[in-house]
């Protein structure tokens, strides 16, 4: 059995996606639809395809027939399923305010929705599988996101600086963050208007003249209002999150880890994302998709968070980013022309060429992979990477 196979992923045309970045990465033509995400993995909703001698087979089916390709460690920890999902994201418009469940929460929620007879493809379904979805991302461009609650003192400062939100500061001073956030997310339209319209109307001109700093929550409220075409008479409670959550700006190569329960939202830019193999997303606003405030408030982590930024990978060496969980690890492998790197996989591994060109060899097998092309490497495979054109690739696998 061959140890390496070329792998074709799946493009997800979500409305918030851009039209050019992923198409350019993959060297494909885009007919002007949004290319939001590119998935490489074996999730049941969009498994990648392995190229084999007589055609193609989904990675999901291949692993069911050949579970040893996953490796002993992976099978002991996660059974006969690929435990991770690798993605490229192109965020042209803000994503929803969202969070992901723990493993136990996912198992309970998935079972409850199954028992209720809600089809897996029902747009109103919250739990698509029974797995947790911790995730890490590495910025491929200047990247902006929301990540967890700011410290209470910073939230109070933010609220007090805005006349229409000053009463909220008084309220928060005598309330815990969980109860405070629940009151915000359950607020009626007239209350949202009292909080937000004075800011929107007062800052509109400054926004149009590019006078608002991007670290200013007011900028993102105006930006999101326009990008998502939110009507001023139907304001979204999710807009209030810009005053409560950390606004994080990552430079190229920097990253961040999103633990279960931590609220977040990607706002603008491109990234590599690696996560446990799940599509469980509990949304709290700023989206046309199903919003489940009840579930969101039940499992949200309202801890005060100081964002922990993952440093860029060192240049000129293979580097594995630190991760606090067992489900996945992301490695960065730079190469120059005519350089060779040899190693051995312990578990099933996905390689994606980000720039340049390589040959990937194992035993008598050889693949030539250019920018945007990927491969699946079976466990216990001795492989060699030869740089044909300078660039770098990323590996998705398990922590060693």
288: pLDDT confidence band, cut at 50, 70 and 90? confident
Per residue in 172-206, pLDDT (tens digit) is 999 999 999 999 999 999 999 999 999 999 999 99
Q: Give the pLDDT of residue 59.
A: 98
Is residue 23 domain-resident?
yes
276 with 386, same domain: the answer is no
Shared domain for 257 and 364, answered yes or no, is no
Number of domains observed in the structure of the chain: 2
**Confidence class of residue 121 from pLDDT cuts 50, 70 and 90?**
confident
Q: Could you tell me the CATH number of the domain that includes residue 357?
A: 2.60.120.10
- Per-residue pLDDT of 62-102, as tens digits, reads 999 999 999 999 999 999 999 999 999 999 999 999 999 99
Percent of the chain with pLDDT over 90: 93
* pLDDT at 127 > cutoff 60: yes
Quick one: 384 and 253 in the same domain? no
> Is residue 157 in some structural domain?
no
Average pLDDT over residues 280-299: 92
CA within 13 Å, CB half, 251? 3
Answer left, alpha or beta for residue 179, where phi above 0 means left and psi between -120 and 50 means alpha: alpha
Whether the Cβ atoms of residue 151 and residue 304 lie closer than 8 Å to each other: yes
55 and 131, same domain (yes or no): yes
Residue 291 in domain: no
253 plus 129 within the same structural domain: yes
Shared-domain flag, residues 263 and 343: no
On whether both 62 and 127 belong to a single domain, the answer is yes
Q: How large is the average pLDDT for residues 133-148?
A: 97
Residues 16 and 122 in one domain: yes
Confidence of residue 208 (pLDDT cuts 50, 70, 90): very high
Together in a domain, 139 and 262: yes
Q: Are 66 and 200 in contact, with CB atoms under 8 Å apart?
A: no
What pLDDT, in 10s, does the model give residues 245-268? 999 999 999 999 999 999 999 999
User: Is residue 365 a known part of a binding site?
Assistant: no
Q: What is the mean pLDDT of residues 142-146?
A: 98
Report yes or no on 34 lying in a domain. Answer: yes
Q: How far is CA 194 from CA 163, 227, 240, 243, 384, in A?
A: 10, 22, 12, 15, 62
Catalytic site residues? 283
Assessment of whether the complete model's pTM goes beyond 0.75 = yes
Neighbour tally for 282: CB within 10 Å: 29
Residue 321 near residue 329 (C-beta atoms within 8 A): yes
Mean pLDDT of 214-222: 98
Domain assignment present for residue 180? The answer is no
Is 226 marked within a binding site? Answer: no
Q: What are phi and psi of 296, to 5 degrees?
A: -55, -50
Residue 1 clears pLDDT 90, i.e. is over it:
no
Last residue of a domain, one of 280, 298, 321: 280
Q: How confident is the model at residue 400 (pLDDT cuts 50, 70, 90)?
A: confident
Mean of the pLDDT values across residues 13-22?
95
pLDDT for 196 equals 98
* CB of 130 closer than 8 Å to CB of 106: yes
pLDDT value at position 53? 86
- Exposure string (b/e) for 62-101, b if CB count within 10 Å is 16 or more? bbeeebebbbeebbeebeebbbbbbbbbbbbbbbbbbbbb
Residue 100 annotated as part of some ligand binding site: yes
**Closest to 184 measured CA to CA, from 227, 265, 299, 175:** 175
pLDDT of residue 110: 94
Query: Comparing C-alpha atoms, which of 94, 96, 95, 91 is closest to residue 223?
Result: 94
Same structural domain, 385 and 256:
no
Q: What is the C-alpha separation between 219 and 213, in angstroms, rounded?
A: 7
pLDDT at site 2: 55
Is the residue at 64 inside a domain? Answer: yes
In a domain, 209, yes or no: no
Are residues 35 and 137 located together in one domain of the fold? yes
Examine residue 168 and state whether it is found in any structural domain, yes or no. no
> If you average pLDDT over every residue of the chain, what do you get?
96
Over range 9-19, report the average pLDDT: 95
Q: Is the pLDDT of residue 344 over 80?
A: yes
Q: Which domain holds residue 119?
A: 9-143+247-280
Q: 98: annotated binding-site residue?
A: yes
Q: What percent of the chain is modeled with pLDDT above 70?
A: 100
139 shares a domain with 17 = yes
d(CA 120, CA 124) in angstroms, rounded, equals 9
């Amino acid at each position: 059995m061959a140890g390496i196979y070329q792998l074709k992923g799946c493009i997800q045309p979500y409305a918030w996606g851009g039209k050019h970045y992923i198409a350019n990465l993959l060297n494909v033509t885009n007919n002007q639809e949004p290319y939001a995400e590119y998935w490489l993995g074996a999730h049941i909703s969009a498994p990648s395809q392995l190229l084999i001698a007589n055609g193609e087979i989904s990675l999901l089916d291949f692993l069911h027939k050949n579970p040893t390709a996953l490796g002993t460690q992976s099978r002991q920890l996660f059974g006969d399923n690929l435990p991770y999902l690798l993605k490229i994201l192109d965020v042209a418009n803000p994503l929803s305010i969202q969070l992901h469940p723990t493993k136990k929460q996912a198992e309970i929620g998935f079972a409850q929705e199954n028992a209720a007879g809600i089809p897996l493809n029902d747009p109103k379904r919250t739990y698509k599988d029974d797995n947790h979805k911790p995730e890490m991302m590495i910025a491929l461009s200047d990247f902006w996101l929301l990540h967890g609650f700011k410290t209470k003192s910073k939230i109070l400062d933010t609220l007090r600086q805005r006349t229409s939100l000053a009463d909220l500061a008084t309220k928060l001073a005598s309330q815990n963050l969980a109860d405070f956030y629940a009151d915000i997310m359950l607020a009626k339209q007239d209350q949202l208007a009292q909080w937000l319209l004075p800011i929107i109307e007062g800052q509109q001109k400054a926004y149009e003249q590019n006078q608002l700093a991007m670290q200013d929550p007011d900028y993102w409220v105006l930006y999101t209002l326009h990008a998502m075409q939110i009507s001023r008479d139907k304001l979204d409670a999710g807009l209030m999150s810009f005053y409560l959550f950390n606004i994080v700006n990552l430079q190229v190569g920097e990253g961040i880890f999103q633990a279960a329960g931590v609220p977040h939202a990607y706002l603008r830019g491109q990234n590599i994302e690696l996560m446990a193999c799940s599509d469980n997303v509990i949304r709290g606003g700023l989206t046309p998709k199903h919003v489940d405030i009840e579930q969101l408030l039940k499992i949200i982590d309202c801890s005060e968070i100081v964002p922990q930024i993952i440093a860029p990978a060192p240049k000129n060496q293979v580097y594995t980013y630190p991760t606090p969980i067992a489900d996945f690890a992301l490695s960065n492998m730079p190469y120059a022309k005519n350089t060779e790197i040899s190693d051995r996989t312990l578990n099933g591994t996905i390689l994606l060429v980000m720039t340049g060109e390589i040959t990937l060899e194992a035993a008598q097998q050889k693949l030539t992979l250019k920018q945007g092309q990927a491969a699946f490497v079976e466990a216990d495979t001795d492989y060699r990477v030869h740089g044909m054109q300078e660039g770098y690739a990323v590996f998705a696998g398990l922590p060693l």
